Amino acid sequence: MKKALYRNPQLLRLHWRRGTLTYLLALLIIGVLALLSHYLVQSIVNQQEASARIVNLAGRQRMLSQRITLFAGQLLAEKMNARRPCFRGISGDCGNDEKGTSGVDVWFNADGDPRAKFSRRAANFS
């Protein structure tokens, strides 16, 4: 059969034409699939844009609430350090670090109960 194909120029031309058409059809299918997938991905991104805004806003609110808590804790620590003598905690310093107090001094009383200390500070703050 192959020898007959090479001997007959019309059969050879038909063979090449069929291969070319098959190749073009495959490229057309790949192009259509690429455009279809791009359209689908773009529509999904557009649908999720509103959700992304809500999630971003929630993240910002969480960060803000954490900063408020941090600043309130620092304010309470500064207020309590101004009222009482130094308590040497684990770090060994007497209120000479950046925040003005040691970490143990801020959150724990001498008995190690943080709830009692925090409730007293909250009562003093208001």
- Radius of gyration of the chain from its Cα atoms, rounded to whole angstroms: 37
* pTM of the predicted structure, to 2 decimals: 0.39
- Provide the domain count of the chain: 1
Name the stretches of the chain with pLDDT < 70. 1-6, 84-126
pLDDT at 102: 46
pLDDT in tens, 80-112: 887 765 555 555 555 554 444 444 444 554 555
Domain range holding 8? Answer: 2-125
d(CA 31, CA 34): 5
Query: Among all chains, which residue has been given the structure tokens 């500064």?
Result: 78
pLDDT at 79: 86
Q: Is 8 helix (H, G, I), strand (E, B) or coil?
A: coil
Residue type, position 89, single letter: G
pLDDT at 103: 46
pLDDT at 105: 47
pLDDT at 99: 47
